[in-house]
Structure 1
Amino acid sequence: MINVIWAVMLITGFVFAAVNGRMEEVNEALFTGAEEAVTICIGLIGILVFWLGVMRIAEKGGVLRMLSRMLAPVTAKIFPEVPKEHPAMGYILSNMSANMFGLGNAATPMGIKAMEELKHLNGGRDEPSRSMITLLALNTASLTLIPTTVISIRMNYNSANPAEIVGTTLVATFCSTVMALLIDRYFHWRRVRKHTP
């Protein structure tokens, strides 16, 4: 579905530009955007490799296991339908840990694996379970302690103080995570109430 949406947006943009005689501007924007995208990606590689290395050291050193143990009581309350020792819980904890360090690229594969495991728990049905919806809400809000990717982008654009956003990012993502959980719980409560005779 996403591919269809992107295709429609691209075609609409090209048609609109052609009708208004602005194809030259579109071509210029395409090449400029492509060049900037490559520059940003190359700049991100270094910081992502560094933080993925730090995460690997943390994993081997048991820091992630300790963080997972600290988060386990919280995640057990957030995901009451998921058994403690189920692989889905491990993927959820890894996903949350990676998101906390601002490593969205590293968190994505773990989030996908968690969704796959949650789908197995849901009997393979296409309709999402409560846990799947909660994980999606948390992943979108994602509490971030260190926004490494954003810091890297700011460094690429010669920011005077790339890390100055850490405090505001922490406050903003804390608020978004709390709101995501509250909204998730509210709609779950409404659904349960609706189906309760």
Structure 2
Amino acid sequence: MASSSRAMYHFKVVLLGNSGVGKSCLVNRFVKDTFSPDIESTIGAAFLTQTIALETETVKFEIWDTAGQERYRSLAPMYYRGAQAAVVVFSLVDAESFAGAKAWVNELQKHGGSDIVIALAGNKSDLSHVRKVDRDTAIEYARATGCFYLETSAKTAVGVNELFQQVARRVPKTAAPPRRADMLDTGDSSSGKCC
């Protein structure tokens, strides 16, 4: 194996949002490049990893995909504590999920780390013909709260890789000390269930 001087960063990322908005589908598209419309609701949280290469560094995401059901909401702080980034997901075809996303952003801003990067993801962009959340409304909300906004489709993969690339670029590199990439296995991704 050739020696490499690329810095390797490990970032903890948590996915938050109402049940049924496509958090698990989104992360499965990113990690496994698969989509299943019949995915079961997450219970507690699922843990997955994925490594991406940026221009000058490599980022390994340690991703916590949390359950969206109200009965699991009290567990969320356990997952976002210590996270460098959060992806707050809502469905473009469900206005109530946008209200839920706003509540998650508010909670993260009050109780998350002071330098946590918050991405707001409007998922299910493939269903734009029945959308209930206006793009400009979501952009303005993200701008007003210091988040960044992207529309995604776990089904078609539109915007999914871009979302995580933007997260990797926006997390301050001081948030996680670099490690040498040639000392770490960066070739695979893994997943496991928790709780």
TM-score (ref. length: structure 1): 0.33
Q: Compare CA radii of gyration and give the structure with the larger one.
A: 1
TM-score (ref. length: structure 2): 0.34
Higher relative contact order (CA 8 A, sep 6+): 2
Of Structure 1 and Structure 2, the greater helix share is in 1
